[in-house]
Amino acid sequence: MNPSLVEYLRRILTARVYDVAVESPLELASRLSSRLKNQVWLKREDTQPVFSFKLRGAYNKMANLTPAELARGVVCASAGNHAQGVALSARRLGCRATIVMPVTTPRLKSDAVRALGGEVVLHGDSYSDAYGHALQLELSEGLVFVHPFDDPAVIAGQGTIGMEILRQHQHAIDAVFVAIGGGGLISGVAAYIKAVRPEIKIIGVQTTDSDAMIQSVRAGKRIQLPDVGLFSDGTAVKLVGEETFRLTSELVDDFITVDTDAVCAAIKDAFEDTRSVLEPAGALGIAGMKQYIAKRNLTGKTLVAITCGANMNFDRLRFVAERAEAGEAREALFAVSIPEERGSFKRMCEVIGQRSVTEFSYRISDDREAHVFVGLVTTDRAEAASIADAFIEAGFNAIDLVDDELSKEHVRHMVGGRSRNATDERLYRFQFPERPGALMRFLSCMHPDWNISLFHYRNQGADYGRILVGIQVPDRDQPLFQQFVQTLGYPCIDETHNRVYRLFLR
């Protein structure tokens, strides 16, 4: 065996982590296993006391410091999870801890560090920026630096996860999927597993906009990225460690990159199986595993994904929910152009049929052509293509927007505005029962001489959909319109005289 692996095996077997860490469960993800046609196991590091694996390496490093070193105090740089591990370890060992965190760190994480007694210093936009400042504090204040990943003691602490996986699942394992930031987690896990059961593949997962390790391994040297994406803040590292680069280059079998939508979908997958909400970095292993299965058309394999963190900002859940369906190809987005004439709106809805609508936005703007933003529930990308074909066969131009970032991030929220063509418009807020066919019932009951000039709807997961509708109704038809509303039976509020409507839409 490689002498380096023997040394890491010794370090991992003797690591001091269980003073603060727990042996996290290895759980079968039954729903995900059924859907992916493989046996999927989740190593639940999100269940640690600080909701992340990071306390293993931090405590192992600090527990091996001398009394004199502990008396000086420690300093670290972290996007959040390592910081909590250091702060908890410092409290347990009775020493001072100064934590340098990027200003982009979710407040949930910085507040958690303060609650554990850590002294938080916010500096820079990424881990690498915070790291440079922490090194300055190490020199100026005589502190002991606790590296988040590039230290054999830290790597060995993280390696105890690999030890637990093999102890908890003594049958065949085909691959283990591990998120990569600076590389400490995958280095430790790979060192143990390759020393004990080298036939198990280790697959590293990074986001497409923070793939410093993948670029470095391919180049044969460490590559520093000029910028990193911040959605998966726990893996937003511009430059990986020297030791983690060496170990990853030698031991990791393959790599996968995933985008933001795929990570959001993986967060939803984990929630459906565990009822836990992972942070983006914590869901990378699942996202990578799903992509690996799809690319290789795998079935019947036994796969493990390490869910390495759950320090999610609550405010970020809105974005995750918005993008999860696109990441799983369970939502198709279209820009559909239809003739601006009575009946065409209804004909477009007939093409949609009984499919569940996730979004519907439209504002009258042109005498000849109307442009509608539509979201529909789908089972896969192939169904999205067939829907686009159905629109075209019906005489409507349709553009698939599922890969268009401008549409997903901004335009879907901006469809609307003032219109000179919206004469005789009345504005209503309706509550529709959240079921297929509700919109068609609305359109079927409406008088053919009335034109829909504004329509806005987004599925929020509730039992009732909340819809804003502008309808061009001449004054002479008001009694008839009131009769239509009563017959329809949907709760509604007249917003025609609302000040906000007058300011922004009228």
Sign of CA dihedral 348, 349, 350, 351: positive
Nearest partner of 137 among 98, 84, 166, judged by Cα? 98
Kindly report the number of other CB atoms within 10 A of residue 258's CB atom. Answer: 28
Please give the Cα distance from 74 to 98 (Å, whole number).
Answer: 6
- Pairwise CA distance, residues 87 & 39, whole Å: 37
228 or 241: which leads in pLDDT: 241
Sheet holding 144-145, edge to edge: 119-122, 97-101, 74-77, 144-145
Per residue in 257-280, pLDDT tens? 999 999 999 999 999 999 999 999
DSSP letter, residue 167: H
Q: Are 224 and 245 in contact (CB under 8 A)?
A: no
Which residues have a Cβ under 8 Å from the Cβ of 490 and sit 6 or more positions away? 430, 431, 432, 433, 442
For the chain, give the percent of residues with pLDDT over 70. 97
Does residue 56 carry a pLDDT above 80? yes
Beta bridge partners of 494: 428
List CB contacts of 336: < 8 A, sequence separation 6 or more: 348, 371, 372, 374, 391, 396, 397, 398, 399
Residue 282 contacts residue 152 (beta carbons within 8 Å): no
The H or E element spanning position 261 is helix 260-274
pLDDT digits 0-9 by tens, 313-357? 887 888 898 788 777 777 888 999 988 887 788 888 888 888 888
pLDDT tens, residue by residue, 68-93:
999 999 999 987 789 999 999 999 99
Report phi then psi at 118, rounded to 5.
-75, 145
Pair 396, 372: CB distance under 8 Å: no
> Helix (H, G, I), strand (E, B), or coil: what is residue 422?
coil
Q: Which of 121, 127, 114 has the alpha carbon at shortest distance from 88?
A: 114
Q: For position 460, what pLDDT does the model report?
A: 65
b/e string for 93-131 if b means 16 or more Cβ within 10 A? bebbbbbbbbebbbebbbebbeebebebeebbebbbbbb
Which of 50-54, 109-113, 425-429, 486-490 bottoms out in mean pLDDT, i.e. has the lowest? 486-490
Top-confidence residue, 423 or 268:
268
Set out the domains of the chain in order of their start, with CATH numbers: 3-52+152-322 (3.40.50.1100), 54-145 (3.40.50.1100), 329-504 (3.40.1020.10)
Burial of 34 (0-12, 13-18, 19+ CB in 10 A): exposed
